[in-house]
Structure 1
Protein backbone atom coordinates (compact mmCIF):
# COMPACT_ATOMS: atom_id res chain seq x y z
CA UNK A 1 0.00 0.00 0.00
CA UNK A 2 1.19 3.51 -0.80
CA UNK A 3 2.16 6.14 1.73
CA UNK A 4 -0.51 8.83 1.92
CA UNK A 5 -0.13 12.36 3.23
CA UNK A 6 -3.06 13.76 5.19
CA UNK A 7 -3.40 17.39 6.27
CA UNK A 8 -6.30 18.48 8.48
CA UNK A 9 -7.28 16.03 11.23
CA UNK A 10 -10.42 17.65 12.64
CA UNK A 11 -13.89 16.21 13.18
CA UNK A 12 -14.09 14.99 9.57
CA UNK A 13 -10.47 14.60 8.54
CA UNK A 14 -9.52 12.59 11.60
CA UNK A 15 -12.02 9.84 10.79
CA UNK A 16 -11.11 9.89 7.11
CA UNK A 17 -7.42 9.51 7.91
CA UNK A 18 -8.08 6.62 10.28
CA UNK A 19 -10.07 4.81 7.61
CA UNK A 20 -7.07 5.01 5.29
CA UNK A 21 -4.89 3.59 8.05
CA UNK A 22 -7.37 0.76 8.67
CA UNK A 23 -7.23 -0.02 4.95
CA UNK A 24 -3.48 -0.55 5.24
CA UNK A 25 -1.99 2.74 4.08
CA UNK A 26 0.96 4.29 5.89
CA UNK A 27 0.12 7.89 6.76
CA UNK A 28 2.22 11.03 7.10
CA UNK A 29 0.05 13.57 8.90
CA UNK A 30 0.00 17.27 9.69
CA UNK A 31 -2.47 19.42 11.61
CA UNK A 32 -2.30 22.89 13.11
CA UNK A 33 -2.94 21.26 16.50
CA UNK A 34 0.25 19.47 17.63
CA UNK A 35 -1.68 17.35 20.14
CA UNK A 36 -3.76 15.89 17.33
CA UNK A 37 -0.62 15.03 15.37
CA UNK A 38 0.87 13.32 18.40
CA UNK A 39 -2.31 11.30 18.88
CA UNK A 40 -2.03 10.01 15.32
CA UNK A 41 1.64 9.29 15.87
CA UNK A 42 0.68 7.11 18.83
CA UNK A 43 -1.69 5.25 16.50
CA UNK A 44 1.06 4.48 14.00
CA UNK A 45 1.17 7.48 11.66
CA UNK A 46 4.32 9.45 10.90
CA UNK A 47 4.19 13.01 12.25
CA UNK A 48 5.11 15.89 9.95
CA UNK A 49 6.10 19.33 11.21
CA UNK A 50 4.75 21.21 8.18
CA UNK A 51 2.79 20.68 4.95
CA UNK A 52 6.12 20.78 3.12
CA UNK A 53 7.22 17.71 5.06
CA UNK A 54 4.07 15.93 3.89
CA UNK A 55 4.75 16.86 0.26
CA UNK A 56 8.28 15.50 0.53
CA UNK A 57 7.12 12.19 1.98
CA UNK A 58 4.06 11.22 -0.10
CA UNK A 59 2.82 11.41 -3.69
CA UNK A 60 -0.85 10.99 -2.75
CA UNK A 61 -2.07 13.74 -0.44
CA UNK A 62 -5.49 14.47 1.06
CA UNK A 63 -6.29 17.89 2.51
CA UNK A 64 -9.36 18.56 4.69
CA UNK A 65 -9.30 22.18 5.84
CA UNK A 66 -11.82 24.73 7.16
CA UNK A 67 -11.74 27.48 4.53
CA UNK A 68 -10.18 28.97 1.39
CA UNK A 69 -7.46 30.90 3.28
CA UNK A 70 -6.39 27.70 5.05
CA UNK A 71 -6.15 25.85 1.74
CA UNK A 72 -4.15 28.64 0.10
CA UNK A 73 -1.77 28.70 3.08
CA UNK A 74 -1.28 24.93 3.23
CA UNK A 75 -0.52 24.72 -0.47
CA UNK A 76 1.21 28.02 -1.22
CA UNK A 77 2.34 29.44 2.12
CA UNK A 78 5.72 29.23 3.82
CA UNK A 79 6.65 25.56 4.23
CA UNK A 80 3.60 24.72 2.11
CA UNK A 81 3.03 21.70 -0.07
CA UNK A 82 4.12 23.47 -3.25
CA UNK A 83 7.66 23.85 -1.90
CA UNK A 84 8.30 20.10 -1.95
CA UNK A 85 5.55 18.54 -4.07
CA UNK A 86 6.96 15.73 -6.18
CA UNK A 87 6.28 15.57 -9.91
CA UNK A 88 3.26 13.36 -10.61
CA UNK A 89 1.73 13.80 -7.15
CA UNK A 90 -2.03 13.64 -6.68
CA UNK A 91 -3.63 16.17 -4.32
CA UNK A 92 -7.22 15.48 -3.25
CA UNK A 93 -8.73 18.50 -1.53
CA UNK A 94 -11.83 17.59 0.46
CA UNK A 95 -12.19 21.06 1.97
CA UNK A 96 -15.32 23.07 1.18
CA UNK A 97 -14.04 26.32 -0.35
CA UNK A 98 -15.03 28.73 -3.08
CA UNK A 99 -14.75 27.60 -6.67
CA UNK A 100 -12.18 30.24 -7.60
CA UNK A 101 -9.83 29.09 -4.83
CA UNK A 102 -9.92 25.52 -6.14
CA UNK A 103 -9.15 26.70 -9.66
CA UNK A 104 -6.30 28.89 -8.38
CA UNK A 105 -4.70 26.09 -6.35
CA UNK A 106 -5.15 23.60 -9.21
CA UNK A 107 -3.15 25.88 -11.51
CA UNK A 108 -0.37 26.20 -8.96
CA UNK A 109 -0.22 22.42 -8.49
CA UNK A 110 -0.18 21.91 -12.28
CA UNK A 111 2.88 24.16 -12.47
CA UNK A 112 4.58 21.58 -10.25
CA UNK A 113 3.61 18.94 -12.86
CA UNK A 114 1.17 17.39 -10.42
CA UNK A 115 -2.60 16.97 -10.19
CA UNK A 116 -5.17 18.68 -7.99
CA UNK A 117 -8.76 17.46 -7.74
CA UNK A 118 -11.36 19.17 -5.60
CA UNK A 119 -13.21 16.39 -3.77
CA UNK A 120 -15.50 17.85 -1.09
CA UNK A 121 -17.68 15.45 0.84
CA UNK A 122 -21.21 14.96 2.09
CA UNK A 123 -22.35 12.61 4.82
CA UNK A 124 -21.32 14.36 8.00
CA UNK A 125 -19.20 13.08 10.85
CA UNK A 126 -21.03 9.74 10.92
CA UNK A 127 -20.31 9.29 7.23
CA UNK A 128 -16.65 10.08 7.82
CA UNK A 129 -16.50 7.66 10.74
CA UNK A 130 -18.27 4.84 8.89
CA UNK A 131 -16.57 5.44 5.51
CA UNK A 132 -19.92 6.12 3.82
CA UNK A 133 -19.15 9.61 2.51
CA UNK A 134 -20.10 10.88 -0.92
CA UNK A 135 -17.21 12.56 -2.76
CA UNK A 136 -17.99 15.20 -5.38
CA UNK A 137 -14.93 15.30 -7.62
CA UNK A 138 -13.93 18.19 -9.84
CA UNK A 139 -11.02 18.07 -12.26
CA UNK A 140 -11.40 14.51 -13.55
CA UNK A 141 -14.00 15.21 -16.22
CA UNK A 142 -13.01 13.42 -19.41
CA UNK A 143 -10.01 11.92 -17.61
CA UNK A 144 -11.10 8.48 -16.40
CA UNK A 145 -7.54 7.53 -15.48
CA UNK A 146 -7.45 10.37 -12.92
CA UNK A 147 -10.74 9.28 -11.38
CA UNK A 148 -9.49 5.69 -11.21
CA UNK A 149 -6.35 6.81 -9.40
CA UNK A 150 -8.33 8.98 -6.99
CA UNK A 151 -10.82 6.22 -6.24
CA UNK A 152 -8.04 4.04 -4.83
CA UNK A 153 -8.15 6.38 -1.83
CA UNK A 154 -11.68 7.77 -1.99
CA UNK A 155 -13.30 4.33 -2.00
CA UNK A 156 -11.66 3.64 1.37
CA UNK A 157 -13.20 6.76 2.90
CA UNK A 158 -16.63 6.73 1.28
CA UNK A 159 -19.17 4.75 -0.67
CA UNK A 160 -20.06 7.16 -3.50
CA UNK A 161 -17.63 8.94 -5.81
CA UNK A 162 -19.23 11.24 -8.37
CA UNK A 163 -17.28 12.91 -11.17
CA UNK A 164 -18.79 16.40 -11.48
CA UNK A 165 -16.63 17.73 -14.33
CA UNK A 166 -13.83 20.29 -14.46
CA UNK A 167 -11.86 21.72 -11.54
CA UNK A 168 -14.20 23.55 -9.17
CA UNK A 169 -17.30 21.60 -10.14
CA UNK A 170 -17.04 19.46 -7.03
CA UNK A 171 -17.11 22.63 -4.95
CA UNK A 172 -20.15 23.88 -6.86
CA UNK A 173 -22.03 20.66 -6.10
CA UNK A 174 -21.03 20.74 -2.43
CA UNK A 175 -22.05 24.37 -1.96
CA UNK A 176 -25.47 23.68 -3.50
CA UNK A 177 -25.91 20.59 -1.33
CA UNK A 178 -25.01 22.42 1.88
CA UNK A 179 -27.37 25.28 1.15
CA UNK A 180 -30.20 22.76 0.86
CA UNK A 181 -28.98 20.97 3.99
CA UNK A 182 -29.13 24.20 6.00
CA UNK A 183 -32.65 24.93 4.75
CA UNK A 184 -33.76 21.39 5.66
CA UNK A 185 -32.13 21.53 9.10
CA UNK A 186 -33.80 24.81 9.97
CA UNK A 187 -37.14 23.50 8.70
CA UNK A 188 -36.78 20.32 10.75
CA UNK A 189 -35.81 22.32 13.85
CA UNK A 190 -38.80 24.63 13.43
CA UNK A 191 -41.12 21.66 12.95
CA UNK A 192 -39.85 19.75 15.98
CA UNK A 193 -40.10 22.86 18.15
CA UNK A 194 -43.65 23.53 17.03
CA UNK A 195 -44.64 19.91 17.61
CA UNK A 196 -43.24 19.98 21.15
CA UNK A 197 -45.14 23.16 21.95
CA UNK A 198 -48.31 21.51 20.62
CA UNK A 199 -47.82 18.61 23.03
CA UNK A 200 -46.48 15.95 20.66
CA UNK A 201 -43.93 13.35 21.69
CA UNK A 202 -40.77 14.20 19.69
CA UNK A 203 -39.92 10.60 18.79
CA UNK A 204 -43.46 9.94 17.63
CA UNK A 205 -43.51 13.14 15.59
CA UNK A 206 -40.19 12.23 13.98
CA UNK A 207 -41.52 8.75 13.19
CA UNK A 208 -44.57 10.25 11.48
CA UNK A 209 -42.47 12.70 9.47
CA UNK A 210 -40.09 9.94 8.42
CA UNK A 211 -42.90 7.85 6.96
CA UNK A 212 -44.55 10.86 5.34
CA UNK A 213 -43.81 13.50 2.73
CA UNK A 214 -41.79 15.70 5.10
CA UNK A 215 -38.98 13.18 5.40
CA UNK A 216 -35.41 14.39 4.81
CA UNK A 217 -31.88 13.63 6.02
CA UNK A 218 -32.22 16.16 8.82
CA UNK A 219 -35.32 14.38 10.11
CA UNK A 220 -34.45 10.70 9.70
CA UNK A 221 -30.66 10.59 10.14
CA UNK A 222 -29.61 13.75 11.98
CA UNK A 223 -32.68 14.99 13.81
CA UNK A 224 -31.71 18.13 15.77
CA UNK A 225 -34.10 17.44 18.66
CA UNK A 226 -32.11 15.86 21.54
CA UNK A 227 -33.02 12.26 22.29
CA UNK A 228 -34.80 11.51 19.02
CA UNK A 229 -31.75 9.75 17.58
CA UNK A 230 -29.08 8.47 19.94
CA UNK A 231 -25.37 8.67 19.22
CA UNK A 232 -25.39 11.87 17.15
CA UNK A 233 -24.27 15.35 18.29
CA UNK A 234 -27.79 16.69 19.02
CA UNK A 235 -28.13 13.94 21.64
CA UNK A 236 -24.67 14.69 23.06
CA UNK A 237 -25.03 18.37 23.86
CA UNK A 238 -24.35 19.29 20.22
CA UNK A 239 -20.67 18.50 20.76
CA UNK A 240 -18.55 17.48 17.78
CA UNK A 241 -20.18 17.19 14.40
CA UNK A 242 -20.35 19.96 11.80
CA UNK A 243 -19.87 23.34 13.45
CA UNK A 244 -22.38 26.16 13.08
CA UNK A 245 -19.59 28.55 12.09
CA UNK A 246 -18.58 26.21 9.25
CA UNK A 247 -22.18 26.05 8.03
CA UNK A 248 -22.29 29.85 8.07
CA UNK A 249 -19.10 29.84 5.99
CA UNK A 250 -20.56 27.42 3.44
CA UNK A 251 -23.74 29.47 3.17
CA UNK A 252 -21.60 32.55 2.59
CA UNK A 253 -19.97 30.75 -0.34
CA UNK A 254 -23.42 29.91 -1.72
CA UNK A 255 -24.65 33.48 -1.36
CA UNK A 256 -21.52 34.88 -2.99
CA UNK A 257 -22.06 32.56 -5.96
CA UNK A 258 -25.77 33.41 -6.13
CA UNK A 259 -25.03 37.14 -6.13
CA UNK A 260 -22.35 36.80 -8.80
CA UNK A 261 -24.52 34.65 -11.05
CA UNK A 262 -27.85 36.37 -10.39
CA UNK A 263 -29.50 33.21 -9.03
CA UNK A 264 -32.45 33.85 -6.67
CA UNK A 265 -31.94 32.03 -3.35
CA UNK A 266 -34.35 33.60 -0.84
CA UNK A 267 -34.38 30.61 1.53
CA UNK A 268 -30.63 30.23 1.22
CA UNK A 269 -30.25 33.88 2.17
CA UNK A 270 -32.48 33.51 5.24
CA UNK A 271 -30.60 30.37 6.28
CA UNK A 272 -27.34 32.27 5.96
CA UNK A 273 -28.65 35.01 8.25
CA UNK A 274 -29.70 32.46 10.88
CA UNK A 275 -26.39 30.61 10.85
CA UNK A 276 -24.47 33.88 10.95
CA UNK A 277 -26.30 34.62 14.21
CA UNK A 278 -25.33 31.19 15.53
CA UNK A 279 -21.72 31.65 14.44
CA UNK A 280 -21.52 34.92 16.39
CA UNK A 281 -23.27 33.59 19.51
CA UNK A 282 -20.85 32.45 22.24
CA UNK A 283 -23.16 29.61 23.31
CA UNK A 284 -23.68 28.23 19.81
CA UNK A 285 -20.72 29.10 17.57
CA UNK A 286 -18.68 26.00 18.42
CA UNK A 287 -21.65 23.64 18.54
CA UNK A 288 -22.90 21.27 15.85
CA UNK A 289 -25.16 22.97 13.31
CA UNK A 290 -28.17 21.04 14.68
CA UNK A 291 -28.04 23.47 17.62
CA UNK A 292 -30.33 25.67 15.55
CA UNK A 293 -33.07 23.63 17.29
CA UNK A 294 -32.00 25.01 20.69
CA UNK A 295 -31.49 28.48 19.25
CA UNK A 296 -35.09 28.48 18.03
CA UNK A 297 -36.51 26.88 21.17
CA UNK A 298 -34.77 29.51 23.31
CA UNK A 299 -36.06 32.34 21.13
CA UNK A 300 -39.30 34.15 21.81
CA UNK A 301 -41.80 34.93 19.08
Structure 2
Protein backbone atom coordinates (compact mmCIF):
# COMPACT_ATOMS: atom_id res chain seq x y z
CA UNK A 1 0.00 0.00 0.00
CA UNK A 2 1.41 3.37 -1.03
CA UNK A 3 -0.31 6.09 0.97
CA UNK A 4 -1.29 5.87 4.66
CA UNK A 5 -3.42 8.99 4.88
CA UNK A 6 -7.00 9.22 6.07
CA UNK A 7 -8.14 6.59 3.57
CA UNK A 8 -5.03 4.49 3.09
CA UNK A 9 -4.46 3.92 6.80
CA UNK A 10 -7.81 2.24 7.33
CA UNK A 11 -7.53 0.16 4.19
CA UNK A 12 -4.02 -1.05 5.02
CA UNK A 13 -5.11 -1.83 8.59
CA UNK A 14 -8.00 -4.00 7.43
CA UNK A 15 -5.83 -5.81 4.90
CA UNK A 16 -3.19 -6.60 7.52
CA UNK A 17 -5.82 -7.81 10.00
CA UNK A 18 -7.78 -9.93 7.55
CA UNK A 19 -5.21 -11.69 5.38
CA UNK A 20 -3.12 -14.64 6.50
CA UNK A 21 -0.52 -13.90 9.17
CA UNK A 22 1.98 -15.63 6.88
CA UNK A 23 1.53 -12.96 4.20
CA UNK A 24 3.60 -9.79 4.22
CA UNK A 25 2.15 -6.29 3.85
CA UNK A 26 4.43 -3.63 2.38
CA UNK A 27 3.54 -0.02 3.20
CA UNK A 28 4.91 3.38 2.23
CA UNK A 29 4.03 6.95 3.07
CA UNK A 30 5.88 10.22 2.66
CA UNK A 31 5.12 10.85 6.35
CA UNK A 32 7.74 8.67 8.05
CA UNK A 33 6.15 9.09 11.48
CA UNK A 34 2.84 7.71 10.18
CA UNK A 35 4.73 4.84 8.57
CA UNK A 36 6.51 3.92 11.80
CA UNK A 37 3.30 4.24 13.80
CA UNK A 38 1.47 1.89 11.44
CA UNK A 39 4.16 -0.77 11.77
CA UNK A 40 4.12 -0.43 15.57
CA UNK A 41 0.33 -0.63 15.76
CA UNK A 42 -0.34 -3.59 13.47
CA UNK A 43 2.73 -5.81 13.15
CA UNK A 44 1.24 -8.15 15.74
CA UNK A 45 -1.14 -9.35 13.00
CA UNK A 46 1.68 -10.40 10.69
CA UNK A 47 4.83 -9.10 9.00
CA UNK A 48 4.87 -5.51 7.76
CA UNK A 49 7.70 -3.97 5.75
CA UNK A 50 8.07 -0.19 5.80
CA UNK A 51 9.34 0.66 2.32
CA UNK A 52 11.59 3.62 1.64
CA UNK A 53 9.88 4.58 -1.64
CA UNK A 54 7.09 3.51 -3.99
CA UNK A 55 9.80 1.87 -6.09
CA UNK A 56 10.63 -0.44 -3.19
CA UNK A 57 6.94 -1.30 -2.75
CA UNK A 58 6.78 -2.53 -6.35
CA UNK A 59 10.00 -4.49 -5.92
CA UNK A 60 8.55 -6.38 -2.96
CA UNK A 61 4.81 -6.73 -3.67
CA UNK A 62 2.71 -8.61 -6.23
CA UNK A 63 -0.33 -6.39 -5.65
CA UNK A 64 0.22 -2.63 -5.30
CA UNK A 65 -2.56 -0.35 -4.05
CA UNK A 66 -2.17 3.42 -4.16
CA UNK A 67 -4.23 6.01 -2.28
CA UNK A 68 -2.99 9.61 -2.50
CA UNK A 69 -4.67 13.05 -2.58
CA UNK A 70 -4.51 14.24 -6.19
CA UNK A 71 -3.49 13.46 -9.77
CA UNK A 72 -0.06 15.04 -9.40
CA UNK A 73 0.67 12.72 -6.49
CA UNK A 74 -0.49 9.67 -8.47
CA UNK A 75 1.80 10.63 -11.34
CA UNK A 76 4.76 11.09 -9.01
CA UNK A 77 4.13 7.80 -7.20
CA UNK A 78 4.03 5.92 -10.51
CA UNK A 79 6.23 7.89 -12.90
CA UNK A 80 9.04 9.46 -10.86
CA UNK A 81 12.14 8.10 -12.63
CA UNK A 82 14.08 7.62 -9.39
CA UNK A 83 11.51 6.63 -6.78
CA UNK A 84 8.33 5.73 -8.69
CA UNK A 85 6.62 2.37 -8.90
CA UNK A 86 7.57 2.02 -12.56
CA UNK A 87 11.26 2.41 -11.72
CA UNK A 88 11.21 -0.88 -9.81
CA UNK A 89 13.75 -3.59 -10.60
CA UNK A 90 11.51 -6.65 -10.55
CA UNK A 91 12.73 -10.03 -9.37
CA UNK A 92 12.26 -12.13 -11.35
CA UNK A 93 12.44 -9.57 -14.22
CA UNK A 94 9.20 -10.84 -15.79
CA UNK A 95 7.17 -10.59 -12.56
CA UNK A 96 3.74 -9.09 -13.22
CA UNK A 97 2.09 -6.71 -10.76
CA UNK A 98 -1.58 -5.84 -10.29
CA UNK A 99 -1.76 -2.08 -9.72
CA UNK A 100 -4.98 -0.90 -8.04
CA UNK A 101 -5.24 2.90 -8.06
CA UNK A 102 -7.76 3.96 -5.39
CA UNK A 103 -7.46 7.77 -5.55
CA UNK A 104 -10.17 10.03 -6.94
CA UNK A 105 -8.54 11.81 -9.89
CA UNK A 106 -9.49 12.66 -13.45
CA UNK A 107 -9.79 9.74 -15.86
CA UNK A 108 -7.29 11.31 -18.29
CA UNK A 109 -4.50 11.34 -15.68
CA UNK A 110 -5.32 7.79 -14.68
CA UNK A 111 -5.25 6.68 -18.31
CA UNK A 112 -1.80 8.23 -18.77
CA UNK A 113 -0.47 6.21 -15.85
CA UNK A 114 -2.21 3.04 -17.05
CA UNK A 115 -0.63 3.43 -20.49
CA UNK A 116 2.81 3.76 -18.89
CA UNK A 117 2.23 0.54 -16.93
CA UNK A 118 1.25 -1.30 -20.10
CA UNK A 119 4.04 0.19 -22.22
CA UNK A 120 6.58 -1.04 -19.68
CA UNK A 121 4.91 -4.48 -19.56
CA UNK A 122 4.69 -4.29 -15.78
CA UNK A 123 1.31 -5.98 -15.38
CA UNK A 124 -2.27 -4.77 -15.08
CA UNK A 125 -3.77 -1.45 -13.98
CA UNK A 126 -7.19 -0.96 -12.42
CA UNK A 127 -8.94 2.23 -11.37
CA UNK A 128 -10.87 1.48 -8.18
CA UNK A 129 -11.88 4.72 -6.44
CA UNK A 130 -13.83 4.28 -3.24
CA UNK A 131 -16.53 6.06 -1.26
CA UNK A 132 -17.29 6.06 2.44
CA UNK A 133 -14.66 8.40 3.81
CA UNK A 134 -12.17 7.79 6.59
CA UNK A 135 -14.89 6.23 8.77
CA UNK A 136 -15.66 3.65 6.09
CA UNK A 137 -11.97 2.96 5.51
CA UNK A 138 -11.37 2.28 9.20
CA UNK A 139 -14.51 0.13 9.48
CA UNK A 140 -13.81 -1.79 6.26
CA UNK A 141 -17.18 -0.81 4.80
CA UNK A 142 -16.15 1.19 1.73
CA UNK A 143 -17.95 1.22 -1.60
CA UNK A 144 -15.87 0.66 -4.73
CA UNK A 145 -16.40 1.75 -8.32
CA UNK A 146 -14.09 -0.31 -10.49
CA UNK A 147 -12.86 0.18 -14.02
CA UNK A 148 -11.07 -2.90 -15.34
CA UNK A 149 -11.21 -5.68 -17.95
CA UNK A 150 -13.73 -8.31 -16.94
CA UNK A 151 -10.97 -10.94 -16.72
CA UNK A 152 -9.46 -9.08 -13.75
CA UNK A 153 -12.66 -8.48 -11.85
CA UNK A 154 -12.74 -11.72 -9.77
CA UNK A 155 -9.29 -10.97 -8.35
CA UNK A 156 -10.10 -7.30 -7.79
CA UNK A 157 -13.38 -8.19 -6.08
CA UNK A 158 -11.59 -10.56 -3.70
CA UNK A 159 -9.21 -7.77 -2.67
CA UNK A 160 -11.91 -5.12 -2.32
CA UNK A 161 -13.97 -7.40 -0.06
CA UNK A 162 -11.18 -7.06 2.53
CA UNK A 163 -11.88 -3.34 2.84
CA UNK A 164 -15.43 -2.88 1.58
CA UNK A 165 -18.95 -4.31 1.59
CA UNK A 166 -19.50 -6.86 -1.18
CA UNK A 167 -22.95 -5.41 -1.87
CA UNK A 168 -21.30 -2.03 -2.53
CA UNK A 169 -18.55 -3.17 -4.89
CA UNK A 170 -19.30 -2.55 -8.55
CA UNK A 171 -17.56 -3.11 -11.85
CA UNK A 172 -18.57 0.01 -13.78
CA UNK A 173 -16.96 -0.98 -17.07
CA UNK A 174 -13.51 -0.92 -18.58
CA UNK A 175 -10.57 1.24 -17.52
CA UNK A 176 -11.70 4.77 -16.59
CA UNK A 177 -15.32 3.88 -15.91
CA UNK A 178 -14.74 3.62 -12.17
CA UNK A 179 -13.33 7.13 -11.95
CA UNK A 180 -16.06 8.65 -14.11
CA UNK A 181 -18.65 7.07 -11.82
CA UNK A 182 -16.88 8.17 -8.64
CA UNK A 183 -16.66 11.80 -9.74
CA UNK A 184 -20.41 11.85 -10.38
CA UNK A 185 -21.09 10.20 -7.02
CA UNK A 186 -19.06 12.91 -5.28
CA UNK A 187 -20.87 15.60 -7.28
CA UNK A 188 -24.24 14.37 -6.03
CA UNK A 189 -22.95 13.85 -2.48
CA UNK A 190 -21.68 17.44 -2.33
CA UNK A 191 -25.02 18.69 -3.63
CA UNK A 192 -26.96 16.80 -0.97
CA UNK A 193 -24.54 17.91 1.75
CA UNK A 194 -25.05 21.54 0.74
CA UNK A 195 -28.84 21.07 0.50
CA UNK A 196 -28.95 19.37 3.91
CA UNK A 197 -26.88 22.16 5.45
CA UNK A 198 -29.12 24.82 3.92
CA UNK A 199 -32.32 23.08 5.02
CA UNK A 200 -31.33 22.58 8.65
CA UNK A 201 -29.85 26.08 8.87
CA UNK A 202 -33.20 27.49 7.73
CA UNK A 203 -34.98 25.31 10.28
CA UNK A 204 -32.74 26.43 13.16
CA UNK A 205 -33.19 30.08 12.23
CA UNK A 206 -36.95 29.46 12.19
CA UNK A 207 -36.92 28.10 15.71
CA UNK A 208 -37.15 24.40 14.94
CA UNK A 209 -35.38 21.71 16.93
CA UNK A 210 -32.61 20.52 14.54
CA UNK A 211 -32.66 16.96 15.89
CA UNK A 212 -36.41 16.64 15.45
CA UNK A 213 -36.21 18.24 12.00
CA UNK A 214 -33.49 15.81 10.93
CA UNK A 215 -35.41 12.85 12.39
CA UNK A 216 -38.43 13.82 10.28
CA UNK A 217 -36.30 14.32 7.16
CA UNK A 218 -34.85 10.83 7.63
CA UNK A 219 -38.34 9.35 7.88
CA UNK A 220 -39.54 11.27 4.83
CA UNK A 221 -38.73 12.03 1.22
CA UNK A 222 -35.84 14.35 2.06
CA UNK A 223 -33.72 11.54 3.50
CA UNK A 224 -30.23 11.15 2.03
CA UNK A 225 -26.83 9.77 3.06
CA UNK A 226 -25.72 13.12 4.42
CA UNK A 227 -28.81 13.63 6.55
CA UNK A 228 -28.71 10.13 8.01
CA UNK A 229 -25.03 9.10 8.15
CA UNK A 230 -22.67 12.04 7.56
CA UNK A 231 -24.65 15.12 8.52
CA UNK A 232 -22.92 18.48 8.12
CA UNK A 233 -24.56 19.81 11.31
CA UNK A 234 -22.63 19.06 14.53
CA UNK A 235 -24.40 16.64 16.84
CA UNK A 236 -26.86 15.13 14.38
CA UNK A 237 -24.70 12.12 13.46
CA UNK A 238 -22.29 11.97 16.42
CA UNK A 239 -19.66 9.67 14.89
CA UNK A 240 -18.84 11.82 11.89
CA UNK A 241 -16.26 14.62 11.51
CA UNK A 242 -18.83 17.44 11.79
CA UNK A 243 -19.44 16.42 15.41
CA UNK A 244 -15.71 16.47 16.13
CA UNK A 245 -14.68 19.92 15.00
CA UNK A 246 -14.75 18.89 11.32
CA UNK A 247 -11.46 17.05 11.84
CA UNK A 248 -10.51 14.22 9.50
CA UNK A 249 -12.77 13.04 6.72
CA UNK A 250 -12.73 14.37 3.14
CA UNK A 251 -11.19 17.84 3.20
CA UNK A 252 -12.90 20.84 1.69
CA UNK A 253 -9.94 21.24 -0.69
CA UNK A 254 -10.15 17.66 -1.96
CA UNK A 255 -13.91 17.95 -2.31
CA UNK A 256 -13.53 21.11 -4.38
CA UNK A 257 -10.99 19.40 -6.64
CA UNK A 258 -13.39 16.57 -7.42
CA UNK A 259 -16.28 18.99 -8.00
CA UNK A 260 -14.15 20.87 -10.51
CA UNK A 261 -13.57 17.59 -12.35
CA UNK A 262 -17.31 16.85 -12.40
CA UNK A 263 -18.28 20.31 -13.63
CA UNK A 264 -15.61 20.19 -16.34
CA UNK A 265 -16.86 16.77 -17.45
CA UNK A 266 -20.39 18.17 -17.76
CA UNK A 267 -19.14 21.13 -19.79
CA UNK A 268 -17.03 18.91 -22.06
CA UNK A 269 -20.03 16.67 -22.72
CA UNK A 270 -22.42 19.55 -23.30
CA UNK A 271 -24.63 18.41 -20.40
CA UNK A 272 -26.88 21.19 -19.11
CA UNK A 273 -26.64 21.80 -15.35
CA UNK A 274 -28.60 24.10 -13.05
CA UNK A 275 -26.97 23.46 -9.68
CA UNK A 276 -23.34 23.01 -10.67
CA UNK A 277 -22.29 26.67 -10.81
CA UNK A 278 -23.76 27.89 -7.48
CA UNK A 279 -22.52 24.76 -5.71
CA UNK A 280 -19.01 25.19 -7.10
CA UNK A 281 -19.03 28.85 -6.06
CA UNK A 282 -20.05 27.93 -2.50
CA UNK A 283 -17.36 25.28 -2.06
CA UNK A 284 -14.77 27.56 -3.67
CA UNK A 285 -15.54 30.41 -1.26
CA UNK A 286 -15.54 28.04 1.73
CA UNK A 287 -12.19 26.52 0.74
CA UNK A 288 -10.61 29.99 0.63
CA UNK A 289 -11.76 30.86 4.17
CA UNK A 290 -8.87 30.46 6.61
CA UNK A 291 -11.26 29.10 9.26
CA UNK A 292 -12.07 26.08 7.12
CA UNK A 293 -8.74 25.14 5.54
CA UNK A 294 -7.94 21.46 5.94
CA UNK A 295 -11.29 20.70 7.56
CA UNK A 296 -13.82 18.12 6.46
CA UNK A 297 -15.94 19.25 3.53
CA UNK A 298 -19.10 19.16 5.67
CA UNK A 299 -17.81 22.43 7.12
CA UNK A 300 -19.90 23.89 4.31
CA UNK A 301 -22.58 24.10 7.01
CA UNK A 302 -20.43 26.46 9.06
CA UNK A 303 -19.88 28.56 5.93
CA UNK A 304 -23.66 28.94 5.62
CA UNK A 305 -24.71 29.12 9.26
CA UNK A 306 -22.06 31.40 10.74
CA UNK A 307 -20.63 33.54 7.92
CA UNK A 308 -19.10 36.01 10.38
CA UNK A 309 -17.20 33.38 12.33
CA UNK A 310 -19.31 33.01 15.48
CA UNK A 311 -19.10 29.49 17.03
CA UNK A 312 -21.66 26.82 16.19
CA UNK A 313 -23.16 24.89 19.10
CA UNK A 314 -23.83 21.20 18.65
CA UNK A 315 -27.45 20.17 18.27
CA UNK A 316 -28.86 19.44 21.74
TM range (shorter): over 0.9
Could you tell me whether the CA contact under 8 Å between 1:85 and 1:112 is conserved in 2?
no
- In structure 1, the gaps of 5 or more residues are 1-5
Residues of 1 paired with 2:159 and 2:277: CA distance?
36
Query: What whole-Å deviation, never above 9, does each CA across 1:81-132 have from its counterpart, x for those lacking one?
Result: 0011743200101100001011111111112321110000111222112111
Could you tell me whether the CA contact under 8 Å between 1:245 and 1:278 is conserved in 2?
no
Query: What whole-Å deviation, never above 9, does each CA across 1:61-94 have from its counterpart, x for those lacking one?
Result: 1101111111011000131000117432001011
Could you tell me whether the CA contact under 8 Å between 1:234 and 1:288 is conserved in 2?
yes
Once the two structures are superposed, the pairs formed by residues 1-301 of structure 1 within 5 Å of their partners are 6-24=1-19, 25-43=23-41, 44=43, 45-77=48-80, 78-84=82-88, 86=90, 87-113=95-121, 114-140=123-149, 143=150, 145-159=151-165, 160-299=168-307
Segments ≥4 residues shifted beyond 2 Å:
none
Residues of 2 paired with 1:202 and 1:26: CA distance?
48
Q: What's the CA shift for 1:270?
A: 1.9
Q: What's the CA shift for 1:187?
A: 0.2
Residues of 1 paired with 2:68 and 2:197: CA distance?
28
Name the stretch that deviates more: 272-281 or 70-79. 272-281
Could you tell me whether the CA contact under 8 Å between 1:185 and 1:224 is conserved in 2?
yes
SS in 1 for 2:144: strand
Query: What whole-Å deviation, never above 9, does each CA across 1:220-260 have from its counterpart, x for those lacking one?
Result: 11111111111211110111111000000000111221222
Residues of 2 paired with 1:109 and 1:161: CA distance?
24
**Aligned length in residues:** 292
SS in 1 for 2:223: coil
SS in 1 for 2:99: strand
Q: What's the CA shift for 1:203?
A: 0.9
Residues of 1 paired with 2:273 and 2:8: CA distance?
30
SS in 1 for 2:39: helix
TM norm structure 1 = 0.94
Residues of 2 paired with 1:95 and 1:188: CA distance?
26
Residues of 2 paired with 1:296 and 1:28: CA distance?
43
Residues of 2 paired with 1:112 and 1:22: CA distance?
33
Q: What's the CA shift for 1:266?
A: 2.8
TM norm structure 2 = 0.89
Residues of 1 paired with 2:18 and 2:70: CA distance?
28
Residues of 2 paired with 1:53 and 1:272: CA distance?
39
| Pairwise CA RMSD | 1.3
Residues of 2 paired with 1:85 and 1:42: CA distance?
28
Residues of 2 paired with 1:270 and 1:221: CA distance?
24
